[in-house]
Chains A and B, each alone.
Chain A
Amino acid sequence: MDPPMDFQVVVLAGGTSDKLSPLVSKELPKALLPVANKPLLSYPLELLEASNLKNIIVVVEGDEAATQVESWLSVAYMDRLNVEVVKTPGDVGTVGAIRAVAPFLISTDILIVSGDLVSDISPGAIAATHRRHGAAVTALFCPAPVSGGADSSTSGGKDKAKKPSRCNIVGLDPTRQFLLHVVSGAKVEKDIHIQKRIVRAVGQMEIRSDFMDAHVYAFKRTVLLDVLEKENLYSIKQDVLPYLVRTQLRSEISAKKENSADESSNGATKELPSEDININSAVPSNQNLRWLSQHREIAPSSYQEIHISDCDMNKSRLAKKTHKCCIYLSGKTQYCARLNSVQAFGDINRDMLGEASRITGYTFSAQNNVVHPTVVQGAKTTAGGQCIIAEGTILGDKCSVKRSVIGRHCRIGSNVKIVNSIVMNHITIEDNCTIQGSVISSNVQIQERASLKDCQVGAGYVITAGSEYKSEPLTKR
């Protein structure tokens, strides 16, 4: 296969995240969780394919999950993408996942994409930005989601409380191309501390707290491998990226430090990569100052400029090294969300039905819904707008489905109301049930006259006749 860009992509597909319980289980890893009736992992993969990024390594936590993902991939993408699945033990963090695939990384630049990204932002554009700047790292940030309007009113309050922790505090240069400061909102207790020298280098730093790290990073391979050598790293978002951003104006110094530390303690094992980083990624810092200030107007000249250029000469002799950390900001109209909580699962599914329906690839009918031709609807059954009903599902009489996703081969009785819910595959819902704002995992049986409101039902659960649940997660013991 001919790689159109020398980029390898690592998709971190995760395993069976606790955060998503009871929706995910051993039988259904996070990567295969259906979003608008498509496995979650298909979203980043399609996105990558659209940008012609086809060298993909998918990292999955846990053996069983890996097997399942692999078998799904081999069916779905066999002849389209060059995908490899690598499995890691659970709980190694994103850094651990990258360490696991490090031996496979050969291209100049590596794109790391979170497997739970649902977006229409072109990874190709991020890769191109990365290349254009010759950056050590480029990270995708998107405006933090403003909580989803009227129909998520139940979760509105919760969402707001969560908001600051979900966002990062980022510092940008005036052109919004360079990432000068990053700290994740959750970690800030009282004050934020910003290094003066970086502000000094740009003169003006924009600090924003309404951007969210979308977990898409382009790394220079040498930089990445070098950073991976360090210990005590766990997460790319919280450790690696902040580290690189923090040290961007003195990467050689840090390298030197390392070397000297190495020599005195445990030998010079790290010297090679650090030299690498100097040669490949570093720019002399006077140039760096210049790139940072290049967009700023030049004020009336003064006699001192001559001396300064002199100093510049002097400086480049000192040859302090730096690396660039760039940022790719998504546009306001672009969709970008991460499926990392039950809340997000519901939100994203709703978004797929509404504002971001373009991402799903379905063609919505005149009634603004997608009903598979094989779906059997009983008399007086209505499928309202913003619905997706997949093949083989049978609906009884007088049913009403609004703003919901219904999976394959479900059997739904008569007089059932499904509003604002996600119903996965092979589910039996008997007569006179009401389901509101809930998520029903596969193979669930809901007996007659049951009523569910804002519940998450785990796979294979049986809800007895006439029972009522409100705002509860329900799982099989």
Chain B
Amino acid sequence: MAQKKGGKSAASDDPEELARMPLQAVLLADTFNLKFRPITLERPKVLLPLVNTPMIDYTLAWLVSVGVEEVFLFCCAHAEQVKEYIGNSHWGQSHAGFSITTIESNFSMSAGDALRFIEGKNVIRGDFILITGDTISNMSLTEALQAHKDRRKKDPDTVMTMFVKRSKPMPLTHQTRLGNDEIMMAIDPETKQLLYYEDRFDSSKRAVTLDKSLLADNASLYLRTDLEDCCIDICSPEVLTIFLDNFDYQHLRRHFVKGLLHDDIMGKKIYTHEIDSSYTARVDNYRSYDTISKDIIQRWSFPLVPDVLYAGNRAQMRLQREGIYKAPDVTLSPSVRIGAFTAIGSGTIIGENSSVSNSVIGELCTIGRNVSIDGCYIWDSVTIEDGCRLSHSIVCDGVHLHTGATLEPGVILSFKVEVGQNITVPAYSKVSLLPQPSKQDSDEELEYADTNSGVIDSPSIASISPANIEHDHVSSFDTEQSVLLEGGLSGVGYIWTSCETGNEEEWRYSVAPIPVEKLKEFYAKMFDEDESSSDGEQTGITHSGELISESKSTDFDDSDGEYKGDVSKFEKEVEETFERALGGVAEENVQLEINSLRMSFNVTHAECAGAVFQSVIKSAIIASNSSKSNLLKATIDAIERSKGLLSYFITNVDEEIEVILKFEEMCMEITREFAPIFSSVLHQLYDKEVITEDAILKWESEKADADESDKVFVKQSEAFLKWLKEAPEEDDEDE
């Protein structure tokens, strides 16, 4: 194979380096996230079939094709299953073209842990390819590998070459196609060095902030949002050492890449390699599963296509017209209608008058009469009885759909689930025999290990046999886990509530096509963001008289954006702390905690005061049960209750003003229900000595030049302000 030769010659180009340096690869057979739950509770993600071939086969086939000679397969969750699969497949055989070594660790919670573990094994000797087991690619590595080696010779600080791919031109499509998030990268056009990396975890900011020194060093750079990360990297052995040194690095991109880019001291450099014509994609979520399956059927990933790449022991599928793949031993009734771009695995039987389109059907499935299947992924040994309707769903091995069942778009049925007669499974449901672990470890930041923890979380559940469930599923399940399929005679399974993504985001990552309304919404949102940002900017400008000179206004709006990101995080933390405080934590401890938060987020005292105040007000909303009449009373109570805390954090006039401004902002934005009682609450704050007269008057004078729209609350409080001004002495006496 051409690539293989290239790879070898590249490796042997340096006789002095080592007599012979085989090209090594580290394949992470665990993705350390929960996006494929509940399926991954029972089977590791890399073994999930993608057009009837496990994903890992695609990855391994690519590694062979680019001339990798030693693969270290890192398994974590379901390590046994992965090892067993590799052992039984031809990859484990000596004629596979490379040696494959499995490394097993049960403690690794992230890619970072995995790499640290591998470093401990002391097996990596030279540059290696880092890839996850869910990546499909047909690109050639020769050029990039050579470039990487050349760069390393020139500059030993080069540690990594990332592969990136140009994606669709429309920002909308390229984000929705694979369900990926937008990535912002700054790349040096000459050297292709990566200078800046930003993913969705800091995309709350409206503006990209580039250090000026970047431009001082590089006369030009490209800022790009049109790139997809291929999740394939060529790494130098230092990468492992860096992970070892920085034991807090977990995620390859979020921690490692960003960490290196921010670190000026070590001066390690990351480069990118843009691929243009070849195919690379990673199955990151259900949406990309759908998209990539279609791409494979449409042969974008050639030679990794179903009729070439097949390692199972049954008859191989063959390509027929209209992109229909069919195994020779498929039994189709003459009246079956097979639409374009469909794959049907060996041994499957489809009954009369059924129709299948845009779908993948696995092996040994039995499909009854009058069934309609559109855009579905049906795995092996699935039984679908007569009259079922399935659209845009994933149906795992051994699932049984009884007569007349309907799957709405986006449904995921995990292994061996049964759906009763005439039951309709609502859109975006995920159903599994295993109940949802009650304690979801959905800490996205760390992306804790996948299925292990899940099973450990609920060991008792794992031991429940399906038979048990079948008997008493209606009665024994608690309502929170919400069992479906009552009514049906033999429905089995739990409906999972959506975990990490939240319901509103479900459509984005689902296999179902995105509904038009959602697309519109998404599109509009992209622009709303713009609008709101422009509003911010615009008000920033109007506040101080139409247009501040250029530098000022950019500083203003951008620092504003940044500031909001940090402060809002801080506010959230404070709120959580405060909620805990309501649960009975001693006040000093809360003070201590908030103080330390303030320092770690590096916000000002005034902002801190504002955040504390916001938490108090929010607690009032909760207390009032959102009825308006109670609101004022609840607010007064809340203020009274937290008086100590407030007075601890609100110490001077500036902070008091900040609190008033904060309150005003809240009334206009988040908690509009307070708007009518603004002045009453202000009065209360004054009475409770949280806010002094000085601050209120100062606030008024500050607002004097503001826009009409900004003065709503000043006007509302007019009477109170008047009273304050007219009777200051008496107040003093009162105090």
CA A183 – CA B524 in complex, angstroms? 29
**Candidates A188, A232, A264, A300; contact of B707 at CB < 8 Å:** A264
Task: Tell me the bound Cα distance from A164 to B212 in angstroms.
Answer: 11
Q: Check B462 for interface membership: any CB of A closer than 8 A.
A: no
By the criterion CB–CB under 8 Å, are A204 and B222 in contact? Answer: yes
B529 interfacial contact with A, CB 8 Å: yes
Q: B224 near A203 (CB under 8 angstroms)?
A: yes
- Contact assessment for A308 and B215 in the assembled complex, using a CB-CB cutoff below 8 Å: no
Contact status B171-A311, CB under 8 Å: no
Binds B, one of A194-202, A346-354, A405-413, A447-455: A194-202
Task: Spell out A's residues near B (CB within 8 Å).
Answer: 164, 169, 171, 183-184, 187-197, 199-201, 203-210, 230-234, 238-239, 242-243, 246-247, 249-250, 253-254, 257, 261, 264-265, 285, 289, 293, 296-300, 302-305, 307-308, 310-311, 314-315, 318, 320
Neighbouring B residues of A169 by C-beta, 8 Å: 215
Contact check, A193 vs B707: say whether CB atoms are below 8 A apart: no
Q: Which residues of A contact B555 (CB under 8 A)?
A: 193
10 A-B pairs closest in CB distance: A203-B226, A193-B558, A187-B551, A208-B220, A242-B550, A193-B207, A209-B215, A210-B219, A205-B223, A296-B169
Minimum CB distance partner of B527 in chain A: A320
Tell me the interface secondary structure of chain A in the complex: mixed
CB distance from B499 to the nearest CB of A (A): 26
B538 at the binding interface (Cβ < 8 Å)? yes
Contact A238 B549, beta carbon cutoff 8 Å: yes
Distance in angstroms from B510 CB to nearest chain A CB is 14
B residues less than 8 Å from A164 (CB atoms):
216
Contact at B223–A239, with CB atoms within 8 Å?
A: no
Which residues of A lie under 8 Å from residue B226 when comparing CB positions? 203-204, 296
B168 CB-CB contact with A under 8 Å: yes
Interchain CB contact (< 8 A) of B546 among A183, A194, A230, A246: A230
Q: How far is the CB of B177 from chain A (nearest CB, A)?
A: 6
Give A245 Cβ to nearest chain B Cβ, in Å.
10
Across-interface contacts of A285 in B (CB, < 8 A): 527
Set of chain B residues within 8 Å of A190, measured between Cβ atoms: 211-212
Partner of B177, one of A231, A296, A304: A304
Does B514 lie at the interface of the complex (its beta carbon under 8 Å from any beta carbon of A)?
A: yes
CA distance A183 to B226 in the complex (A): 24
A311 touches B538 (CB 8 A): no
Given contacts A304-B519, A308-B172, contact A243 B709 (CB under 8 A): no
Asked if A311 and B222 make an inter-chain contact with CB atoms under 8 angstroms apart, the answer reads no
Q: In the complex, are the beta carbons of B169 and A203 less than 8 A apart?
A: yes
Q: Which residues of A contact B221 (CB under 8 A)?
A: 206-207
Q: Which residues of B contact A (CB under 8 A)?
A: 166-173, 176-177, 182, 184, 186, 189, 203, 205-212, 215-216, 218-226, 291, 300, 513-514, 516, 519-520, 523-524, 526-527, 529-531, 533-535, 537-538, 542, 545-551, 554-555, 558, 561, 707-709
Are A303 and B513 touching (Cβ within 8 A)? yes
Contact B707 A209 (CB under 8 A): no
Task: Considering the complex, give the chain B residue whose CB is closest to the CB of A253.
Answer: B534
Known: A204-B223, A264-B707, A308-B173. 6 other contacts (CB 8 A): A208-B219, A231-B547, A239-B547, A297-B166, A310-B516, A314-B523
Task: Find out whether the CB atom of A293 lies under 8 angstroms from the CB atom of B169.
Answer: yes
Contact B224 A232 (CB under 8 A): no
* Whole-angstrom CA separation of A314 from B207 in the bound complex: 27
Q: Within 8 Å CB of B223, what residues of A?
A: 171, 194, 199, 204-207
- A398 and B649 CA atoms in complex are apart in Å by 85
A187 to B554, CA, bound (A): 10
CA gap between A17 and B120 in the complex, in Å: 69
* Minimum CB distance partner of B198 in chain A: A196
* A183 & B550 in contact (Cβ 8 Å cutoff): yes
The smallest beta-carbon distance between A268 and chain B, in angstroms, is 15
Contact of A199 among B208, B212, B538, B550 (CB under 8 A): B208
Bound-complex Cα distance A297 to B210 (A): 28
Please give the distance in Å from B81's CB to the nearest CB on chain A. 34
CA distance A234 to B212 in the complex (A): 25
Would A238 and B209 count as touching, CB distance under 8 A?
Answer: no
Q: A184 CA to B550 CA in the complex, in Å?
A: 9
Question: 12 A-B contacts, Cβ less than 8 Å apart?
Answer: A164-B216, A191-B212, A194-B223, A196-B205, A197-B533, A201-B171, A204-B225, A207-B222, A302-B168, A308-B519, A308-B523, A311-B519
User: What's the least CB distance linking B203 to chain A, in Å?
Assistant: 8
CA separation between A239 and B527, bound complex, in Å?
25
Most chain B beta-carbon contacts within 10 A, residue among A207, A232, A308, A314: A207
* Docked CA distance A432–B707 (Å): 72
Set A193, A264, A299: member contacting B168, Cβ < 8 A: A299
Taking CB atoms, residues of chain A closer than 8 Å to B551 are: 183, 187, 238
Neighbouring B residues of A249 by C-beta, 8 Å: 530
A192 and B225 form a contact (CB under 8 A): no
Closest A residue to B523 using CB positions:
A311
| Nearest CB of B to A228, in Å | 11
Give the complex CA separation of A208 and B220 in angstroms: 4
Nearest A residue to B210 by beta-carbon distance? A192
Are A254 and B538 interface neighbours, CB within 8 A?
A: yes
Minimum C-beta distance from B599 to chain A (A):
22
Q: Determine the chain B residues whose CB is within 8 A of the CB of A261 once the complex forms.
A: 542, 707
Residue from B189, B219, B548 with most neighbouring chain A CB atoms (10 Å) = B219
Chain B residues lying within 8 Å of A183, measured Cβ to Cβ, are 550-551, 554
Which B residues touch A297, using CB under 8 A?
166, 169
Q: Are B547 and A232 in contact (CB under 8 A)?
A: yes
- The answer to whether A194 and B216 have CB atoms under 8 Å apart is no
Residue of A nearest to B175 (CB): A200
A195 to B209, CA, bound (A): 9
Contacts of A191 in B (CB 8 A): 209-212
With A183-B554, A189-B212, A264-B707 as known contacts, state yes or no: A197 contacts B546, CB within 8 Å.
no
- Say yes or no: A302-B222 contact (C-beta < 8 A), given A193-B208, A195-B206, A197-B533: no
A109: shortest Cβ distance to chain B, in Å? Answer: 23
Q: How many Å lie between the Cα of A320 and that of B530 in the bound state?
A: 11
Closest to B176 in A: A304
B542 A257 Cβ-Cβ under 8 A: yes
